[in-house]
């Protein structure tokens, strides 16, 4: 797909026409819509009156997941940097010993 393609996605029972700039973007949009719809539908068992309230809860849940992922990624990045430093120190020490 070299140019933008117009696609239609169902989100919470409403059809939305969007532009996808690549097949990968289209795939991501469709996966995201499926995820939103799955979470949206999970709120049907509660006494939530409006579609907008359910969508607000979906947005909150997705934002929390994104923040949690970002925080975990940052923690793992710091751990990786610490391990890299320890390995460099160890290898430097071993190199000095072998001389």
For the chain, how are helix, strand and coil distributed in percent, rounded to 5?
Answer: 70, 15, 15
What pTM was computed for the model?
0.71
Looking at the structure of the chain, the number of domains it has is 1
Average pLDDT over residues 9-27: 96
Average per-residue pLDDT in the chain?
A: 91
Average pLDDT over residues 16-22: 96
CA dihedral 33, 35, 36, 42 (to 10 degrees): 140
pLDDT score recorded for residue 1? 52
Say yes or no to pLDDT of 91 above 60: yes
Nearest to 2 by CA among 22, 20, 29: 22
pLDDT score recorded for residue 96? 77
Nearest to 43 by CA among 60, 63, 68, 65: 60
pLDDT score recorded for residue 2? 61
- Quote the domain boundaries for residue 81: 5-98
């Amino acid at each position: 797909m070299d140019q933008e393609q117009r696609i239609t996605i169902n989100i919470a029972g409403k059809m939305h026409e969007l532009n996808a700039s690549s097949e990968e973007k289209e795939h991501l949009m469709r996966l995201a819509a499926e995820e939103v719809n799955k979470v949206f539908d999970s709120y049907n068992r509660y006494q939530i009156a409006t579609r907008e309230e359910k969508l607000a809860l979906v947005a909150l849940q997705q934002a929390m997941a994104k923040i949690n992922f970002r925080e975990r990624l940052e923690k793992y990045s710091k751990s990786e940097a610490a391990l890299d430093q320890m390995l460099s120190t160890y290898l430097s020490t071993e190199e000095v010993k072998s001389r």
